[in-house]
Structures are given as structure tokens and as C-alpha cells.
Structure 1
Amino acid sequence: MQNQLLEEYQRLQVGEATRAVAYLRLRRALQNLIDAGVLRPGQALPGERDLAKLLGLSRVTIRKALAGLIEAGQLTQRQGAGTFVAERILRQFSRLTGFTEDLRARGLDPQVNFLERSIGEVTPEESMALNLSPGSGVVRMYRLRHVDGAPIAIERTLVPLSLLPDPERVTGSLYEALEDYGHRPRRALQRLRAVALDAEAAKHLQLPEGSPGLLVERRAFLADGRVVESTRSYYRGDAYDFVAELQSE
């Protein structure tokens, strides 16, 4: 990889004035190798000292080039571990699956940390989201999602208590727990929009406040039309892509 980076960096030098900005040239060289698949998702980059020695650049220049790619979501830094090519997760709109099932199907190992898991009486706002009568019971879950130890999404989920009598049954996949009760969703309405992460979401996702994110709102239904789930999820904008397959008639 180091030889390929050196060759690409030197190739970009050809025809450029010597005063051309070195950190931009290095940034382009790294981006070209990422786009070509030479640098693969999750692959570690050499340290700043090694890159400086390889390319004959200062560590300040190296750091500036890497910072631009980190800001663009192409690279990530892990404290004490180094700099890595960002791993982006693709999720399709065409299939109704839960977060856990979707990532397992892609060979990934999702983890969940429950920040809240409680039962209460439905509020007026929750009553509207779930089409429940006042006084009905509701399960509230607030979950932080991880992949390979890195936070990916933060989710607030509501489920009618009548459909999920024991929320402790949800250890990973909500849909698997609902299926155990015979209440797996059959269809869903989902809306996605780009947002700037607020302080709470950014803190949990280990990003600066105001970082780009994706807000996904989902209402899932049983075959008889009852609402079984209402979820608001904030995803890291630098680590998650949603894909929709479109077909003509």
C-alpha cells in the first residue's frame, strides 16, 4: 500500500508547479486509492511519522491532508489505534428488516446498549403515533447501536405493551422478539432526511454537535393494520448509506 501511495502522489506531481499545495495533492492521492479500492474499508493507514518519511513531507502537512478526508467521512480516527478507511454500511429500503437482522445478513456483528427500557402509560403524542387509546400501556426503548465497537445509530422506539408484554425479551432484534409473540411487522412507512445532530445524539455517536446525520422515522404495521412500532433513529452520516431499488412498470 505504501508503494502505491508513493506512486500516486508522485504521479500527481507531474506537471504541477513546485509551489502546489502538498496537503491537497496528498489528499487527492489518498482519495484516488480509496475510490480505486486499493485502500479498503476498515484498512489502517500508516502512522503520521511513516507517511512523512515515505513522502518527504512534514507531519503538519500529513495531518492536514488526513483531517480533510476525516471531515469528508472518507477516513476515521480511533483514539490510540490510528487512522482507518471509513466503513460505510448500506441499508436497503426495499426490505422490511430490523437493524440487527439487516447487519447480520451482511456478515457484521451488531451490538446494542439499552439506555432505557421501560413500561408506562401512553402520552397523547405516543397515542397518536401508535393509534392507541388514552390509558393504554406502551413500551419505551432507547438504544445505542454499535458495529465492531463503533457507535452507528441512536434509536427511540415505542411499541404497544399489548404486543410486547415483556420488553426484556428484546436483547438484540426487536423484530425477532415481536415474531416470538406472533406480531412481526408486515409493512412500514419510512421517512429519511438529512439533519445536523443535536448535542444528545452527537454525544452518543461520539461526534461534534452539528455533525451531519440521517434521521429515519419508521411506523410499522401488522397485517391487520395495527401499528406495532414507531421509531426515530439518528444515524452517523459518515458511516451509513441507504439504498433504494427502483423498477419501471
Structure 2
Amino acid sequence: MQKALFDEYQRLQTGESTRAVAYLRLRRALQNLMDAGILKPGQALPSERDLASLLSLSRVTIRKALAGLIESDLLVQRQGAGTFVAERILRQFSRLTSFTDDLRERGLNPQVRFLERSIGEVTPEESMALNLSPGSGVVRMYRLRHVDGSPIAIERTLVPHALLPNPESVTTSLYEALEAHGNRPKRALQRLRAVALDEEAARHLQLAVGAPGLLVERRAFLEDGRVVESTRSYYRGDAYDFVAELKSD
């Protein structure tokens, strides 16, 4: 595992994100190993001292990288035992579809209200999420999703500006706009977990603070491996179901 982590960290360091902040680079390297199944649920990470020695980083940097993954429930710390990959059930959905596609297939009429739609220079956090080099352009969208006039989801989306030259082309479906540019995603990694809605999400979804919701995080990729979308969505827990078809070997 240590060799895999060293190699992945070096790959990110010498790739497009060379100037990215070290703790963000380490966080992305660890997450990439989890996504690839190299770091498995329940597996112990090396100690902070060992990680610092392996990667030639300070223990403060190591601690900051791990803290972000712990906050996202991807790692857990056990007092006196160390840091472990969280025991999580990850399900791969059989089809890669957009929110709009899902609802249209159910015979519903989705609507969207844009709270933000802008273009800017990528931040260090965004550069790691999208594997972009510093100074690249990024499209930021903050959308409130409705069905029959009722709010059902709120989502923040990042897309490389090079892959979506005109954000105004996104009306209801992001994937339809990307497809028009030949950039519709071919695969995605998606995580889902139950959460208590914070004040901002609860206000937009017209629920009480702390009401149950579903947090869905998605990174979508083109066929050549480039990241085309990074989205963080909050769904009403009382109005949306995720269903997966599971088959035995």
C-alpha cells in the first residue's frame, strides 16, 4: 500500500496539479486509491510519522490531509489504534444518467432554478477535484431542482471551462449541454450517504434544519480519463429514492 500511495502522490505532483497545495494532493492521492479499491474498507493507514517520512511532508500536512477525509466520512480514527478506511457500502449504479434523465423517465417534469452560474479561475480545492492545473478556468453552477413546483434537490457543480465553453447553454440538463460539445461523461464514481440537512440546504429545500437528507457526491469522466464534472448534491430524504440492480457473479 505504501508504494502505491507514494507512486500516486508522485504522479499528482509531477502532473498537471504540480503547484497544488501538498495536503490537497495527498488527500486526492488517498481518495484515488480508495476509488480504485487499492485501499479497502477497514484497512489501516500507516502512522502519521510513517506517512511524513514516506512522502517527505510535515506531520502537520499529513494531519490536515487526513482531517479532510475524516470529515467526509472516508476515514475513521480509533483512539490508540490509528486511522482506517471507513467501512462503507459502495454501490455502482448500472447506468450513468443525469438528474433530468431520471425524472423524465419517471414521467415527471423537472425544473431548475440557477442560484449561481459563473466562470472563474480554479481554486486549489477545485483543481484537485477536477485534476486541473492552476490558472485553468472552471464553470461553477449552483442549482435548485424542482418537480411540479416543489424543491427536491440542491446541487453545486464544477465543470472545466474548456469542456463547457458557454455555461448559458445549460438550461435543464448539464449532460445534454456537454453532449452538444462532444463531452458527455462515460463513467462516474458516486458516493451516497444519509445526512442531517444544514441550515442552507434546509432553507432551499423548505425543510427544518436537521431534517434527514441524502448527500450524493459524483465525479464523472470522459473516455480519455479527464474529469468532466464534480457535483455535490443534497436530496430531500422524504422525496427521492436511489435504486440499484444487483447481480451475482
RMSD: 0.9
Task: For 2:150, give the aligned amino acid.
Answer: A
Question: Deviations 1:90-140 (Å, cap 9, x if unpaired)?
Answer: xx9321010011111111000000000000000000000000000000000
Within the alignment, does 1:197 sit opposite 2:206 as a pair?
A: no
Distance in 2 (alpha carbons) for counterparts of 1:177 and 1:200: 28
Amino acid at match of 2:136: S
- Structure 1: runs of 5 or more not aligned: 1-91
What is the match of residue 222 of structure 2? Answer: 222
The two structures have a TM-score, normalised by structure 1, of: 0.63
* 1:155 equivalent in structure 2: 155
Q: Does 1:93 align with 2:93?
A: yes
For the residue of structure 2 that corresponds to 1:220, the secondary structure is strand
Structure 2 letter corresponding to 1:213: G
User: What is the CA deviation profile of residues 183-214 of structure 1, one whole-angstrom value per residue up to 9, with x for unaligned ones?
Assistant: 00000000000000000000000000000000
Amino acid at match of 1:224: D
Query: Which residue does the alignment assign to 1:185?
Result: 185
Give the partner amino acid of 1:161.
H
Give CA deviations for 1:159-206 in whole Å, capped at 9, x if unaligned.
Answer: 000000000000010000000000000000000000000000000000
Partner residue, 1:27: none
Rg larger in structure? 1
Equivalent pairs, count: 158
| TM-score normalised to structure 2 length | 0.63
CA distance in structure 2 between the partners assigned to 1:95 and 1:233 by the alignment: 18
5+ residue gaps, structure 2, are: 1-91
Residue number in structure 2 paired with 1:130: 130
Aligned match of 1:50: none
